[in-house]
Amino acid sequence: QLTKITKITTLARASVMPFRDSKQTAQEIAKILGVYYILNGTIEQDGNQLHISVQLLDASNKLDLWTNSYSFDLNTKNLFAVQSYIAMSVSAALDVKLSHKEKAQLTHLPTHNMQALEAYFHALAIRAMEHTAQSHQKAIHLLELAVQLDPKHAQTHALIAPMILGFSFNWSYHP
């Protein structure tokens, strides 16, 4: 959700994943990445409960600018509400004023279908972590499932085409 805020620049997931289990300090990581702030968090699922802890650090002085924890029933409304709240809280901690358009984008529910959302996020995770023909094809199949479950979820449509195109360049695609 933070990518929807124009005055906040975020790095691509692929840029920060090498630091996931790093022993380096926040200051060292920030220096390598060329950033001033680090948003760190954990997500744990326990049945139908989701537990999220988030921390915004000022890397220059090691101070927490903002931290919070959430526990809630896993459904799309709650999930997007927490994502929106986190984005709004981070922007407030950084003294970034949100436009009316940004506020509207942050509160928009892109889908009400939890299964479609799970398939979409699972495909994203596979895409980010694995780079084999089998994993790529699995991600495409998950995106196709997400489209079947919610044909109006624009983010799935936006991702599936480049995934198929990328697959066809590296391997051969057979739906």
Least confident interval from 59-68, 84-93, 126-135: 126-135
Cα separations (Å) of 28 from 53, 67, 126, 166? Answer: 22, 21, 28, 34
Q: Name every residue whose Cβ is closer than 8 Å to that of residue 30 and which is 6 or more positions away in sequence.
A: 36, 37, 38, 59, 60
* Dist. CA 129–CA 28, nearest whole Å: 23
CA 22, 86, 105 angle in degrees (round to 5)? 120
C-beta of residue 50 within 8 angstroms of C-beta of residue 74? yes
Element (H, E) at 49: strand 49-58
* Dist. CA 117–CA 106, nearest whole Å: 17
Q: Quick one: pLDDT at residue 127?
A: 83
Go through 91-115 and write b for each residue having 16 or more CB atoms within 10 A of its CB, e for each that does not: bebbeeebeeebbebbeeebbebbe
Structure confidence at residue 173 as a pLDDT band (50, 70, 90): low
* CA nearest neighbour of 38 among 62, 73, 71: 62
- Model pLDDT for residues 6-48, shown as the tens digit of each residue: 899 889 888 898 898 889 988 999 999 999 999 988 888 888 8
Structure confidence at residue 138 as a pLDDT band (50, 70, 90): very high
pTM: 0.66
